[in-house]
Amino acid sequence: MSSKKEYQYIGKSIYNVNAIAKATGRAKYCSDMQLAGMLYAKVKRSPYPHARIVSIDTSKAERLPGVKAVIIGDEKTCPARFGAGVADEYVLARGKVLYVGDPVAAVAAESEQIAEEAVDLIEVEYEDLPAIFDGEEAFKQNPPVVLHEDLKRYNTLRSVPPRLDENRPNVFNYFRIRRRDVENGFKEADLVFENRFETAMIHHVQMEPHCGVAMVDDSGRLVVWGTSSKPYGMHRDISESRNLPPSAVRVIIPTHVGGAFGGREPKAEQIAASLALGQKGYPKRPVRMWFTREEQLSTTTTRAHYIVDIKTGVRKDGTIVANKMRLLLVGGAYAGTGYLTARNAAFGPAANYKTDHFSLDAYGVYTNQRMAGAYRGFGNAESLWGMESQMDIIAEALKIDPLEFRLKNCTDEGDLNAFGEKMHSVGAKECLHAAAKLIEWGKKTKGSEPHLKRGKGIALGNKYSIVPTASAAIIKVHPDGMVELRTSTVEIGQGSSTIFSQMIAEEFKIPVSKVRVLNPDTDITPFDLGTASSRSTFNMGNAIIKASADAKRQLFELAAKELKANPDDLETADSKVFVKGSPDRSLHIKDLFIPMVIGGYTLKEGAEIIGKATYYLPGVIPDPETGHSERPASFYMFVAQAAEVEVDVQTGKIRVVKIVTANDCGKAINPMTVEGQQEGGVLSMGIGSTLLEEVITDNGVMLNPQFADYKIPTTLDCPTLENYKSAIIETAHREGPWGAKGVGEGTMVCSAPAIANAIYDAIGIRFHEIPITPEKVLRALKKI
C-alpha cells in the first residue's frame, strides 16, 4: 500500500471535528456534567504509606445534614479485587492501606463543602506498619516488607498473564528475552560498557483532573461516565469488583475528555459508582467524584521511577555485538496497567538496533506508593533513556560520530530484532537523517557569553503497538446520507474522531461534515481494547475499512435491485449510488427508504444499513523463556530527535535552544494532528520530563502536588517557533489503513537522551538520572 498516492481526505490536514465546540466553550467534559439532584463526593485517604486499618467510625459523618452516602472498604461495598493484569486492588482499601492517599472511605453529599466536612468527621484508627519505597529493596528475595502476602492466589488476566517470581514476593511481573548467547557476545566484543540509568517518578498532568459520574437508572442498572481511555477496561473493572454481570453496568465516555497520556486508571469512576450504589433506599442520586488537582497529582498513577541497567559489547569498528539489560519498574502498591508496562518496556531496546546477542530481564515491583506504570511510551522512554545514553558513551569511546554509530547499527526493513521478529516498516534511518538535517548536525554554535556553553545531541527511539489487539466498528448509513460511526475509541485530544471521519469520508466519498462519530457507550459502541499503545489509527482504522465495506455491500445489494444492476458494478459518492461508468444510472440513498405513514423511514428488509467488523490481530505471545516471537507487536513507530542546549555553567540553568523530531508514522492520515502530537510530546513532556518534572516525596507523601511546585513547561520554557522543527516520515505499513501506523507515543521516547547527549556535548558531564536540574549541573561541575 503506497503512502505516496493522493487521496481526497486521507493525508489532508482537515480541521479537528470537535474544535468548534472546544473553542466556543460549548464542549462539556465529564467534570462539567450537572445531572439533576447530583451529589458531590469526597474521599478519606490514608495518611500512612502502610498500615492496618484497626477501626473506622463513620457515625458522625453519616449524621451530618446533607450527607447521603458514606462508604468504607467492606465486604458489601468492595466484595472483589480487580486489576488490569493481576486483581490486587479493591475500590476502597480493605483491612490494610498500602500507600499515602489509599482511599479508606468516601462520602456523597449535597455540596463539596458538606462532603469535605463529613470526611473530616470520619474517624480512622490505624496501626502503622513498616513501609518500603526503595525499588531494589522491594526487589530482594527477602524484602523487609511484602505488600501482597496472597499475591500468588490473586486472579490474573488469562490472555497476557503476569509472571510472578517464586523467590521475589514483591515482583508483580517478570519478562525475559534470551537471544543467542550474550556472555559469549561480551567475550567476542572488543569493548564492554556497563552503566545504570534512572528516571524519576513523574505525572501525566492531564489538564482535566480525573472524574467519574455515576448513577443508578430506574431499572436498577449502574451507569458510569468517566475520563477513562479504556471504556471496556473500566467496564470490566467496575463489574468484576462488585461481582456484577457485565450487562448490569453501562459505561459512557463523554465526547470531550481533557487528556489522557496513558494515565486514566478509573479510580474516580469506581468511587462514584460505589457511592451511587451505596445510598440507602431510593432515589439513588447521581454522584460526581472529581479529584482536585492535588488529588490527581498525588494519588493517581504516574510514570514510575525506573532503574535501567545496560551492558553493551561492541567491536572497534562500531558494531554492537551484545546487549544485556535489566529493567526495574518501581511500581506502586497496586500493579494496574503497570504490570504490562514492566514487560513492554523491553520492546524499545529490542527493536532499536541489530544485535547478535541480546538478553533482557524486566521486572515490576510493588512499593508503598501509588500506582505507577502506564504513561506515554509505556516504559520505552525509560528503557531507551538508558540505551540511548549508553550509545553516546560508546560512540565517544570508539571515536565514532553518534549519528554514524546509530546509522550503522539501527534496524532496517527485513532485519531481525531481539524477539527474532522480522521487522517491517522501519523508518529509523530516514528519521535519523531528517533529525540530523533539521538540527544542522555537525555545525557548532557558541553561547553569547563565556559562561554559556552549547552542545548538540541526537537519539533514536521506537515505540511498538500492542498485540493481542481487537477493535470493532459499527457503521450506520442514515437515510439522509449521513454516515455514523460507533466505536469505543476515546477522543482524548489526539484527533481520533477527526481521522476516523476522514477515513469514512474517503470510503464513502462524502464530505467530513456528513460523518458523525459517536462517543463511547458500552450499550451502543462495540468492543475496543482501549485508546492506548498508539493503536487506534491502525486497528480502528482497519475495522472502519472493513465495516465500511460491509455497509457498502448491503447498500449495493439494496441499490442493485432498484438500479437493475449487478452489486459488483456499483459505487457510492456524495450520498448517491451509481453504476460505475454510467453516472446517470444512479439513486440517492434516501430513495432506498420508504416513508411510512406515522412518520420515519424504513427499509423493506434488513432493518438498517449497518456495517460491522472486528479487526483482530492476535500476534504471537513471546515465548516465556526466550521471548521469541514472530509477531510480538502490531507495528513499530520509529523516531529520532536532536537537541541543541545552552548550559549556564555558573547557575547550572539549561536552556533548550533548539529541538527537532522526525517521526515515522507509516502514513499521516492528518498531518496537522500528527504535528500536534509531535509538538506536545517533545515540547511539553520531552522537555518537562528531562529538565523540570519530578514527583518529590518524603515517606510516601508528595511534597509538590500543585502547579507551583510540580513544574510542567510554560510558553516561556519552550524554544521559539523557529527553533522547533519536525518531519513526518512515511514508511508505509503493508497492513496499515492507507499504510498508517500510529504516532502518539513515539513522540517522546527519545527526548531525554537527545537533550542529555546535548548536555554532554556542551559541558562534558554525563547524567545518569533525569530530571537534570541546575543544581545537579553545578554539583557535577564541582561548583558546590
Partner 1 sequence: MNHFEYLPAKSVNDACDMLSNYGEEAKVLAGGQSLVPLMKQGLVRPSHIIDIRGLSDLDYIRYDKKDGLRIGALTTHRAVETSKAIKENCAMLAEMERTLASVAVRNWGTVGGSLTHADPASDLATTLMALGAEVTLTGSRGERVVNLNDFFVDYFETALHSDELLTAIHIPNSGRGNGFYYKFAHRATDLAVVSVAVYLVPAPDDQNRCQDIRIVMGSVGPTSLRSRRGEELLKGQEITDTLIEEAARVSAEDAQPTTDINGSEEYKRELVQVLVTRSIKKAATRASTR
Partner 2 sequence: MENLRLIINGEEVEALIDPATTLQQFLHNTLGMTGTKEGCGAGLCGCCTVMVDGKAVKSCLILALQVGGKSVQTIEGLAHEDVLDPVQSAFIENGAIQCGFCSPGMIMASKALLKENPHPVENDVRHALSGNLCRCTGYHKIVKAVLSVGERQ
Dihedral in degrees, nearest 10, Cα atoms 95, 99, 103, 104: 30
Interaction partner, residue 783 (partner 1, partner 2, none; CB < 5-8 Å by kind): partner 1
696 forms part of the interface with partner 1 (CB under 8 A): yes
631 within 8 A of 421, measured Cβ to Cβ:
yes
708 forms part of the interface with partner 1 (CB under 8 A): yes
Interaction partner, residue 723 (partner 2, partner 1, none; CB < 5-8 Å by kind): none
Residues 718-747 that bind partner 2 (CB under 8 A): 718, 720-721, 724
DSSP summary character for residue 683: I
Whole-number Cα distances in Å, 6 to 257, 275, 667:
32, 53, 12
Segment (H or E) for 115: helix 112-121
Q: What is the chain's percent helix, strand, coil content, to nearest 5?
A: 30, 30, 45
**At closest approach, how far in Å is the CB of 451 from partner 1?**
9
Q: Which is nearer to partner 1, 461 or 700 (CB)?
A: 700
Exposure class string for 383-406: b at 16+ Cβ within 10 A, else e: bbbbbbbbbbbbbbebebbbbebb
Stretch that binds partner 1, among 96-104, 379-387, 510-518, 696-704 (CB under 8 A): 696-704
133 forms part of the interface with partner 2 (CB under 8 A): no
Stretch that binds partner 1, among 308-316, 472-480, 602-610, 707-715 (CB under 8 A): 707-715
Name 578's Cβ contacts closer than 8 Å, sequence gap at least 6: 563, 570, 571, 572, 584, 585, 586, 587
Interaction partner, residue 675 (partner 2, partner 1, none; CB < 5-8 Å by kind): partner 2
CA 536, CA 557: separation in Å to the nearest integer?
30
**At closest approach, how far in Å is the CB of 104 from partner 1?**
20
207 forms part of the interface with partner 1 (CB under 8 A): no
Among 569, 717, 768, 780, binds partner 1 (CB under 8 A): 717
24 forms part of the interface with partner 2 (CB under 8 A): yes
Q: Which is nearer to partner 2, 13 or 155 (CB)?
A: 13
CA 682, CA 676: separation in Å to the nearest integer?
10
Q: Which is nearer to partner 2, 200 or 685 (CB)?
A: 685
Interaction partner, residue 506 (partner 1, partner 2, none; CB < 5-8 Å by kind): none
634 within 8 A of 567, measured Cβ to Cβ:
no
Interaction partner, residue 676 (partner 2, partner 1, none; CB < 5-8 Å by kind): partner 2
Name 641's Cβ contacts closer than 8 Å, sequence gap at least 6: 435, 458, 459, 461, 659, 660, 661, 662, 682, 686, 750, 751, 754
Q: Which is nearer to partner 1, 708 or 721 (CB)?
A: 708
DSSP summary character for residue 78: -
Among 8, 111, 582, 650, binds partner 1 (CB under 8 A): 650
Among 651, 699, 734, 764, binds partner 1 (CB under 8 A): 651
Q: Which is nearer to partner 2, 739 or 744 (CB)?
A: 744
292 forms part of the interface with partner 2 (CB under 8 A): yes
Name 368's Cβ contacts closer than 8 Å, sequence gap at least 6: 49, 50, 98, 99, 100, 131, 132, 133, 145, 147, 333, 700
Residues 548-567 that bind partner 1 (CB under 8 A): none
CB neighbours of residue 164 within 10 Å:
18
CA 474, CA 544: separation in Å to the nearest integer?
8
End-to-end CA distance of the chain: 59
Name which of 422, 402, 426, 399 is nearest 412 in CA terms.
426
704 forms part of the interface with partner 1 (CB under 8 A): yes
Question: Judged by CB under 8 A, how many residues of this single chain contact partner 2?
Answer: 58
CA 133, 139, 142 angle in degrees (round to 5)?
105
Residue window 61-80: x/- pattern of binding to partner 2, with contact defined by CB under 8 A: --------------------
Stretch that binds partner 2, among 82-90, 343-351, 595-603, 715-723 (CB under 8 A): 715-723
**At closest approach, how far in Å is the CB of 683 from partner 2?**
3
Segment (H or E) for 390: helix 380-397
Question: How is residue 91 written as a grid cell?
Answer: 475500590
Q: Which is nearer to partner 1, 673 or 751 (CB)?
A: 751
Stretch that binds partner 1, among 23-31, 92-100, 513-521, 710-718 (CB under 8 A): 710-718
Strand partners, 602: 594
293 forms part of the interface with partner 1 (CB under 8 A): no
18 forms part of the interface with partner 2 (CB under 8 A): yes
Q: Phi and psi at residue 25, in whole multiples of 5°?
A: 80, 5
Among 54, 607, 716, 721, binds partner 1 (CB under 8 A): 716
Residues that bind partner 2 (CB under 8 A): 13, 15-16, 18-29, 31-32, 34, 204-209, 256-259, 261, 292-293, 492-495, 672-673, 675-676, 679-685, 706-708, 712-716, 718, 720-721, 724
Residue ranges binding partner 1 (CB under 8 A)? 650-653, 692, 696, 703-704, 708-709, 711, 713-714, 716-717, 773-775, 778-779, 783-784
